[in-house]
Structure 1
Amino acid sequence: MHATRLLPTALAAITLCATVSAFAQDNSLERVTVIGSRKSLPAASSTDTLVPVDIYSMSKVTEGGGQFDLAQTLQYLSPSFNSTRQTGADGADLIDSAALRGLGSDQTLVLVNGKRRHTVALVNLFGARNRGSTGTDMNSLPLLAIDNVQVLRDGAAAQYGSDAIAGVINVQLKKKQGCEAVAGYGQYSAGDGKNYLASAYCGIKVGNGTLGLTGEWQDRGRSNRNDPNDELVGPRTIGDTAVTNKTVYLNGEFPLAADNKLYLTAGAQNRDASSGAWARGGVGSDDIPSRNSAAMYPNGFVPFINGKIEDRYFIVGWKSLIAGWDTDLSQTYGSNKMRYNISNTLNASIANKDLLAGGKGISATSFDAGGFGFSQATTNVDVSRFFPNLLGGSNIAFGAEYRKEKYDIGAGEPGSYIDADGVGFGGNAGSQGFPGFQPGDATNKSRNSQAVYADWEANLTSALTLDAALRAEHYSDFGSTTTAKLAGSFKASKEVLLRAAASTGFRAPSLQQLYFSSTFTDFISGKPLDVVLAPNGSKITAAAGVPALKQEKSKNFTVGITVKPSTDTALTVDLYQINIKDRIVLSGRFDEDNYPALGAILQGLGVGQAQFFVNSINTRTRGLDLTASNRMKLGAGQLNTFLALNISSTTVTAINAPAALKGFEDVLLSERERLFIEQGGPRSKATLGFEYSQGAWTGEAKVIHFGSQTQGTFSGPPVPNLHYKPKTSMDLGMSWQATPALKFSVGGNNVFNVKPTRQDPYETDNGFYYDSVQFGLNGASYYARAYYRF
């Protein structure tokens, strides 16, 4: 369906609104919009929403929390949110991925101030989480700039478009007057991972509006949990990536004459990050001359994968009231660029060529390995109006969107990828740790999409509310899709609300999944192997019979109950099921042994295995979300208690092998890769928190329980899978309001130093005693903060 065929839907929405416009009345109340609804009215609590929505104020965690970035903050607040820092996962070490309800990071849509935020340019290829996915870098947003985070735990593609299968996260930035600043320090109990934070926000009056400016500097040191006495783990660096972030954000809204408002958001972050790759052996090991030179690193070495990441974001918009209709015209632009520099390394083929020519066997020790970039420009027109006399009160909304995306890969310097002494001979090609992108990998691709939507929310009776949404979207590269959603709530009593929703959804294949291309080195049970990741439409995927990627399609169902017996107590329970068809995953490794048709091609490339993206599986995710909160007087102070619980289970229900790969389903999706999809995140997560305040003092205790995870092994059966037992940790904190403007906070995270279940490092994904699962592998940490409002 071409863009012109979307016009009738838009015209129908306009006609509908014109028909009922006579019912409109003026509403002069202060109006806000909570994610999941197009209704612009005084915000209700999360127990009154049609679908599950959690609203997290960032003020307390910003002033005195133990986490210094947004991803880790939400990890310990939201029951269905999961973000675990990776180690030994190449580029995935440099950008923390995040996801909802046990699905992939690219199946959660992230908004900022209600506008679509761009994803990162990186594709996660390694690690125990989000393999083959792109996602949004939550940590590119400074905590002090955020007013609240709204987490919509339901499919919402019919309302917001592609990616909103698992849910939507909306980050609402501050635009209040006044200034505040935070200084923080933290480190692990092991003495490393030193974390410094300095951040300031100032909201100044500009005309009749406010412009908020936030600046943040964060310096997180490297941590290392390696065991130098272990033969495999040995001299490696296992732990947090070293990161330095420099971030600036602007956010403002400026009322003008006659119900008009101009608003803008602008942000930039530069990040320098460095992660340790697998170690290479020294004299006496098999790595000489294939991956090392005796003259350069006789005792072996750890290459460092260094990334320079530039993230930019911009929104400008105009809100107005036209003939009683709230209109919002906006332009959003976002970009993410990542460039690799590999240090403390060598090109073994160059060193070996030098040795054969009578030299010492020397190569350069650092290389520009190239990189990639992604940009996204989105134009939105949104129109809505509340009609108090239509069906007991109706909100009608419609709009249109145009989006253009671009993805590019740039080659590295020749030394980062060449095989100087000949294919299959002597030293291996490229920089050890991360071979550079080759000229054949370089690409520059773009696409565009157009969409229209309509949404009608009606209070049919004083107890019954229904919402219906329809969205049609056309992509220039794969075609069109139409999605719909129906949600409703019934107020059974003043205290009890029943709610349910059913929807269809979709996720367009990302440009990164369509066009990413690279040759890299992986380690299988400690042994190196060169692997090519072939882009869709390449010679390799053509030989394998892999068709063009298409959109994933989903069906979402949610049913729940909310109970609010008093203003001090609230409970929500929601059950959900998400069925996804033609889910895009990264295939298993094909080689000349398990798929002879590729043998000659791989041999010519000088690599051992190939893999690619393919619409190859159907999955079903079922789960339960529960939240409960209570506040009460206790002695001379107040006790706040909350419980957040998520239980989920994802199952691969079918493997859809292309015709040419029938019979090779066990290679297309091995048990190990299946477990990454089904149990990349813990099957359950719960947080039980207690906060007691008395006078100037506040104490907090938080118990966090992570359910079990099972991961596959490199060896496969009969070697048993890696089972990570359920683990529980505790965070403790104390704050002192020294003056009305000054607060000091201290505390510890995972204070009992709990670690995941120990495994055989020859079978884990990162070659360590445990993968980056549950709460990670670093152990206990401690922090101190000072907050000042002026």
Structure 2
Amino acid sequence: MNFRGKQPSARALLVAATAVWALASADVAMAQDAGSDDTAAAEEDSDAPAIVVIGTRRTDRSAVNSASPVDVISASEIQSQPAANMLDVVKNVVPSFFVPQNTISDASTFVRAPSLRGLPADNILVMLNGKRFNRSALVQVYTGGDTALSFGSQGADISSIPAIAVGNLQVLRDGATAQYGSDAIGGVLNYGLRDDTGFEAQALYGQHYEGDGETWQISGYGGIGLGDNGFISVAGEYYDSEGTSRGVQRPSAVNFANQFPNLADQLPNYPGPVQIWGSSPSHGWKVVVNSEFEVSPQATFYLFGNFANSKADQSFNYREAVTTTATRFNGTSSSTGTLSANSAFRHPIYLTACPAGNATCPSGGFVRDANVFNFTELYPAGFTPRFVGETDQAIGVAGIKGSLDSGFTYDLSGSLARQSLNLSMYNSLAPSYGPATQTEFQFGKLIQRELNLNLDMTYPLDMGLASPVTLSWGAEFRREEYEATEGDPQSYGAGPYAVQDLYVQTSPGVYAYDSTVTMPPAASGYGGTSPTFAGTSSEKSWGVYVGAEADLTDRLSMGIAGRYEDYENFGSATVGKINALLEVTDAVSLRATAGTGFHAPSPGQNNVQVLTTTFIQGNQVQVGTYPVTSDIAQFYGATTLGPEESTNFGAGIVIKPSNNFTLTADGYSIKVRDRIGISQTFTVSAADIVALPSLAGVGEGGSVQYFTNGFDTLTRGIDVVGTYRTGLGDGSLNLTLAYNYNKSKVTNFDPGVIGPTQLIDIKYLAPNHRATFSANWEIGDFAINFRESYYGEWRDSNDYPIREGNLSTGAIIDGQHFGAKFITDLDVSYTFADKYTLTVGANNLFDTYPDKIAATVNNPIYDLTGSISNGSIYPRPGGPFGLNGGYWYARIRVKY
């Protein structure tokens, strides 16, 4: 099934039909409004604005009369998405939310890092039922376009939340650190859990047009009442997704098969590509429990939690067994390119040790003779490591809340959370261990633990204003722990063949120095945690806040909040916020906010140690990210991390001329100072290893980096959201248009931290323009959902830089421009026997792909395959909508 050839004409017809449909519905609406009061009243009741619980302590605010901009996304809109990952669900419906696909990006493939308004994942506060959700176990240290906007962050992993458990999602598009504490610089995502009674089950099957990526998803929800005093509900989901492949065979593998046809079937993944560019196969389950019970008229006990497990198996880069050549085109001319063998295959392991007590062949040396070991004995055609990540998530929240007759409210709660990421690998080797190498490795676990205790109170104080003043105050205690467990010794160690001084025998018993050869330490592909860096680090903090909100007049509402937090490892922070809403007329309101915020460095950012493999001109080298407190990081100049600090300003307009039409437009400016990033890489020399022997784990030619406060950014943009509800025929029609313009830039930076590629990616990796138009038409037992998404032009300078002149001397001036695209989603549902709903649909209906990688000096295209040297033809991050193309699905839903 492939619509690529029909895309322009089909899309033009569909968009034109939608425009006519929208205009026609407006005329129908005016006719109906004139003579159908009962219908209008029914629609108003059924679509009453949801109460906003984020960004305010009042209980009478909605999205249209909130002083801060809030999007309320319904359960039906969330559940209508066929994606198994909550990250993709939110990406489809919130224009300012960006997350790449992450094809081959080390552990960042298992925990993808999103961005809201161009800010990193740990500048977004995630909440579950208004309570802080825990961070993930992964600190984002992978260097590439996949993580460019969240490089160095440690945010929450919302992929563990099943869509069927969500009652609504409220997205606060405003800084809220003064109200909720560290991390809420860019905004807040609050998932309100379902509390209804009844039973619901769903089953979904889908696959991509290419015939891969087959997905099964089964989910269910059950809620029961506990008399008249409470409820308990359980929601769960199981999914199993096959991988996709959107690359081609690597030119080096084509050469190998031609030169050694008898070994061709030994190539990894034969006859498919030796290296897979696409989504990794994954499976897992997710469960949410939610409950409340009223123990008295003034007290309600609540308990809820989220538990999940996921496992994914990722392809790594192919390791060539032989060196070959092939013709390539760099955009202006053709040349012959060398496709080098991996360093594990470039020379053998020499097994004969120098004779004991021989003065001319010293201890620790090796004799260069025929007694050798070659890794082709393990992998005759080279190898592609497979990287496995298993994530376990658990959070439990318990509390008691209530109110008194005076209006005083209280909420006392505590939460415990733990997420772990267990990393392993197979189909690999540890080159420096020679014939004793393992082929499977355990790298250890990364574990994040959190304890939160909260007390929140409000009291309405009548001061003769248009409304009582809602006073709010409270306190919070937090403890975070980050633990790394030890991996297999070979996963991080330098084996006996890491450095071989070779000698040749010139006469009986006499030897002469010949040369020195090396093999990279650790496992090929990733490095486990060594005993030096295994262990637990922690951070305790406490905070207090106060706030006040009121209608000063019938037309003017204002709010103010302040917060003080103290951290044991870096000190304290004081922040504040003020906002206001002015009703100019009954149909037009103006709103504005101003505030300060901060993000405290996490124990993970302070203490993470990760060793990864990269390739420089075909040479495999290790890149180590080390804690700022370590002797390695301090050897290269690391200093103590401090908090990020922000200043937020926002102003907007709300237009609501009728109950069925709303338009909001909100501009914003967010300045973040002392952002936490990762330093430049420092190349490890032989002299460095002599001065600091612990650098042997990185090895000569490898590199070291560490966390540091290194740059300031300024983010500016505007959000526009319009909704229109009307009738069409005998049914109801809901139209929504959402648009976001966002642009970040680095205003001040340390050149040792931020390079020219990052300057470009921070500004352009996420499209500056993003818009979605959606229409939902329900008529009788049928429902049609249509969404057209626009993704503006974007760039990826980290992976696809454009330079002047040669690779070694040219100055980076830009990243490749990937063009703007429209993506169409469409589904049709039919409900029968009242309780059963069948849905068929397609995401990316017209099979749209990002632009292909262009031929440049840095990324020449090889004639053999039409790809760059690693076999990819599309940008590795997938861009803002991914590189998998069209996806069709069918879903059956049963609800009682």
Q: What is the CA-CA distance between 1:386 and the residue it aligns to?
A: 2.6
Shift of residue 85, structure 1, vs aligned partner = 2.1
Please name the residue that 1:671 is paired with.
756
What residue number does 2:69 align with? 52
Q: 2: CA distance between counterparts of 1:118 and 1:592?
A: 36
Query: Residues 360-371 of structure 1: matches in 2 within 5 Å?
Result: 363-371=437-445
Partner of 1:148: 168
Q: Is the 8 A contact 2:250 2:869 kept in 1?
A: no
* Separation in 1, partners of 2:869, 2:832: 48
Q: Report deviation, 1:288.
A: 5.4
Mapped partners of 1:553, 1:582: distance in 2 = 7
Q: Which has the larger radius of gyration?
A: 2
Match of 1:573 among 652, 662, 665: 665
* TM-aligned CA distance change 1:316 to 1:483, over 3 Å: same
Q: Tell me which residue corresponds to 2:102.
A: 86
Distance 1:474 1:193, change over 3 A: same
Deviation, structure 1 residue 346: 1.8
1:389, distance to aligned residue in structure 2 (A): 5.2
Contact 1:244 1:273 in 2 (8 A): yes
Separation (CA, whole Å) in 1 of partners of 2:682 and 2:869:
18
State the alpha-carbon separation in 2 of the partners of residues 786 and 735 from structure 1: 9
Counterparts of 2:156 and 2:315, CA distance in 1 = 23
Q: When the two structures are aligned, how many residues end up with a matched partner?
A: 739
What pairs up with 1:188-267 in 2 under 5 angstroms? Answer: 188-207=208-227, 208-231=229-252, 235-267=274-306
Residue 126 (structure 2) pairs with residue 71 (structure 1): no
Distance (Å, rounded) in 2 between the aligned partners of 1:765 and 1:694: 53
Q: Find the aligned partners of 1:390 and 1:223 in 2 and give their Cα distance.
A: 64
1:759 is the counterpart of 2:814: no
Return the match for 1:327 from 410, 432, 447: 410
Contact kept, 8 Å, 2:214 with 2:242, in 1: the verdict is yes
Counterpart secondary structure, 1:509: coil
Residues in 1 aligned to 2:234 and 2:185: alpha-carbon distance in whole angstroms: 33
Deviates more, 1:746-755 or 1:309-318: 746-755
3-state DSSP class of the match of 2:526? coil
Structure 2 counterpart of 1:751, one-letter code: L
1:685: how far off? 1.2
Q: TM-score, normalization: structure 2?
A: 0.79
Counterpart of 2:710 (choices 616, 619, 626) is: 616
Query: In structure 2, what is the Cα distance between the partners aligned to 1:246 and 1:179?
Result: 19
Alignment of 1:296-307 (within 5 A): 296-307=378-389
Question: How far did 1:283 drift?
Answer: 4.1
Give 1:445's aligned residue.
537
The DSSP-based 3-state class of the residue aligned with 1:48 is: coil
- Match for residue 660 of structure 1? none
On the 8 A contact 2:104/2:876 being kept in 1, the answer is: no
Contact 2:205 2:217 in 1 (8 A): yes
SS of 1:771 mapped into structure 2: coil
Letter of the 1:725 partner, please give it: G
User: 1:342 is matched by which residue type in structure 2?
Assistant: M
- Looking at structure 1, the residues matched to 828 and 748 of structure 2 have their Cα atoms a distance apart, in angstroms, of 50
Note if 1:686 corresponds to 2:771: yes
Unpaired segments ≥5 residues, structure 1 = 1-29, 355-361, 658-664
The alignment status of 1:651 with 2:736, answered yes or no, reads: no
Partner AA of 2:101 in structure 1: R
Q: Provide the C-alpha distance between the structure 2 equivalents of 1:39 and 1:596, rounded to a whole number of angstroms.
A: 63
- For the residue of structure 2 that corresponds to 1:92, the secondary structure is helix
Q: Structure 2, unaligned stretches of length 5 or more?
A: 1-48, 255-272, 324-339, 347-373, 500-516, 805-811, 860-867
Asked whether the 8 Å contact 1:332–1:378 carries over to 2, the reply is yes
Give, in whole Å, the separation in 2 of the partners of 1:696 and 1:300: 57
Q: How does 1:483-498 map to 2 (within 5 A)?
A: 483-498=575-590
Name the CA distance, whole Å, in 1 between partners of 2:869 and 2:393.
Answer: 29
| Percent identity of equivalent pairs | 32
Q: Is the 8 A contact 2:54 2:190 kept in 1?
A: yes
Q: Is the 8 A contact 2:320 2:342 kept in 1?
A: yes
Aligned pairs (5 A) from 1:18-29: none
**Change in CA separation of 1:180 and 1:532 when aligned onto 2, cut-off 3 Å:** same
SS in 1 for 2:837: strand
Q: Where does residue 717 of structure 1 map in the other structure? A: 803
Q: Normalising by structure 1, what TM-score?
A: 0.90
Paired with 2:888 and 2:462, the residues of 1 have a C-alpha distance of 53
Q: Is the partner of 1:76 in helix, strand or coil?
A: helix
Contact 1:588 1:673 in 2 (8 A): no
Residues 516-555 of structure 1: matches in 2 within 5 Å? 516-524=608-616, 527-555=619-647
Following superposition, the deviation at residue 760 of structure 1 comes to 4.8
Q: Is the Cα–Cα contact under 8 Å of residues 591 and 598 in structure 1 kept in the other structure?
A: no
Choose which of 313, 328, 332 in structure 1 pairs with 2:395.
313
RMSD: 2.4
1:71 is paired with a residue whose SS is helix
Give how far 1:324 is off.
3.8
> What does residue 839 of structure 2 align with?
745
Aligned partner of 2:344 in structure 1 is 289
Alpha carbons 2:322, 2:345 under 8 Å: kept: no
Q: CA deviation at 1:191?
A: 1.1
CA distance in 2 between partners of 1:653 and 1:331 (Å): 40
Question: Are 1:409 and 2:484 matched, yes or no?
Answer: yes
Q: Answer yes or no: is the 8 Å Cα contact 2:791–2:822 preserved in 1.
A: yes
How far did residue 241 of structure 1 move? 1.8
Pick the aligned partner of 1:165 from 174, 178, 185.
185
SS at match of 2:389: strand
Q: Cα gap change, 1:505/1:598 in structure 2, threshold over 3 Å: closer, same or farther?
A: farther
Quote the offset at 1:513 in angstroms: 1.0
CA distance in 1, matches of 2:65, 2:51: 15
SS at match of 2:87: helix
What is the distance in 2 between the residues matched to 1:318 and 1:70? 29
- Following the alignment from structure 1 to structure 2, what is the Cα–Cα distance between the partners of residues 765 and 653? 36
**2:572 partner amino acid:** S
Contact 1:290–1:349 (Cα < 8 Å) also in 2: no
Q: Name the SS for the 1:289 alignment partner.
A: helix
Q: Encode CA deviations 1:164-202: one digit per residue, 9 max, x unaligned.
A: 000000000011111101111111111111111111110
State the alpha-carbon separation in 1 of the partners of residues 743 and 869 from structure 2.
22
CA deviations on 1:102-131 (whole Å, 9 max, x unpaired) are 110110000000000101010122242322
Give, in angstroms, the shift of residue 140 of structure 1. 0.4
Rounded Cα–Cα distance in structure 2 between residues aligned with 1:171 and 1:125: 28
Letter in 2 for 1:768: S
1:91 is paired with a residue whose SS is helix
Equivalent in the alignment of 2:872: 768
Amino acid at match of 1:400: A
> Out of 784, 787, 790, which is 2:893 matched to?
787
Give the deviation of 1:204 after TM superposition: 1.1
- C-alpha change, 1:297 and 1:422, in structure 2 (3 Å) is closer
CA distance in 2, matches of 1:226, 1:109: 36
Q: Partners of 1:412 and 1:470 in 2: how far apart?
A: 45
Are 2:308 and 1:269 aligned? yes
What's the CA shift string for 1:632-654, capped at 9, x where partnerless? 22233332211111111100000
Identify which of 780, 784, 799 aligns with 1:699. Answer: 784
Deviation at 1:592, TM superposition (A): 5.6
Where 1:214 maps in the other structure, the secondary structure is: strand
Tell me the SS of whatever aligns to 2:274: coil
- Point out the more displaced range, 753-762 or 328-337: 753-762
**CA distances 1:188-237 after superposition (whole Å, capped 9, x unpaired):** 11111111111111001224200011121111111111211544995211
